[in-house]
Copies of this chain bind each other. A is one copy, B any other.
Amino acid sequence: MQLTKAQREQFDRDGYLFFPALFSPQEIATLTDEVPHLYAQDRPENVREKQGGAVRTNFAAHLYSAPFARLARHPRMVLPVEQLFGESVYMHQFKINGKNAFDGDVWQWHQDYGTWLNDDLMPTPRAMNVAIFLDEVNEHNGPLMFIPGSHRLGVLEAGHDTTTTSYPLWTINNDNIRTMVEKAGGRDGGIVAPKGPVGSMLLFHSCLVHASSSNLSPWNRVSVYLSLCAVSNHIRRFKRVEWIAHRDFSPIECLPDDCLQQDYVVDLPWENGTPPEAARTSLERLEETA
């Protein structure tokens, strides 16, 4: 899996690349089948809805679930990112996110790198957002919306929105969004929402401005979201717990291309529980020993 020159140029220009049906339904089934077992576990990596206890987000499954550990080392995902960054990457964040049928909530316009910079002291935006569709994404179940090219503006000023949604988010003000959308083409492509079947993959720049609408459809929209950070760009502070912002900066070593269909042995360091030190946080800046 090598990106073409046209794809690399497209990424630089638009800030994202879309690979419809990159993984087969059979490959994705090995992941989907595992999700109920993950959700059933009583561990801090499962963030549940206040009402009802359904899991909204599961973090760090690649450290305690073999299928997701294999996905985390998949060459179809890792190699294009390494190619774009020109170096090895480590897993900065790994989560399974459900935008559930009927009540999946809105995410206002935001950039991810703002959080990574402010909370984690990640030095530059050389970390890639990856979304892998465990469900089909269509126009009705709240697809991600991007403003193409907005990543080129770097880190934008943001305000802390604690009222619109059930989670606080650093969001970008409406006038800035309006200007960016106009610049990106207005009604003619100023907002894009890639849609595709199960197994599709999106790579998008950590400064790309994105949002997503509510999901009123009867179709769940579960995706794996992860961020692959260039090893030299590792975070410098452990303000967030380790299952949200990982602290193992060793380069990902890819498995073979059939790793979602063969039982390759993978290390599952958190299989028997979350280590206590993962919950410890600090506002101290890491010494740069590299």
**Given A102-B174, A136-B187, A140-B145, A216-B219 contact (CB < 8 Å):** no
Q: Are B174 and A219 in contact, with the CB atoms below 8 A?
A: no
Cβ-based interface call for A191 (8 A):
yes
A211 within 8 Å of B by Cβ? yes
Supposing A101-B174, A102-B177 touch, asked if A187 and B139 sit within 8 A by C-beta, the answer is no
Chain B residue at minimal CB-CB distance from A177: B218
Q: Does A97 contact B (CB under 8 A)?
A: no
Interchain CB contact (< 8 A) of A178 among B140, B177, B218: B218
Q: Could you say which residues of chain B place their CB within 8 Å of the CB of A142?
A: 213
Is A274 among interface residues, defined by CB-CB distance under 8 A?
Answer: no
Residues of A contacting B: mostly: loop
Cβ contact within 8 Å between A187 and B101: no
Whether A109 contacts B216 by the Cβ 8 Å rule is yes
A134 CB, min distance to chain B CBs, angstroms: 15
- Pick the contact of A108 from B140, B211, B216 — CB < 8 Å? B216
**Which residues from chain B contact A181 at a C-beta distance below 8 Å?**
217-218
Interface string of A91-115 (1 = CB under 8 A from B): 0000000000110001011000000
Residues of B with C-beta under 8 A to A182: 218
A148 to chain B, nearest CB (A): 13
- What is the chain B residue whose CB lies nearest that of A182? B218
| A219 CB contacts on chain B under 8 angstroms | 187
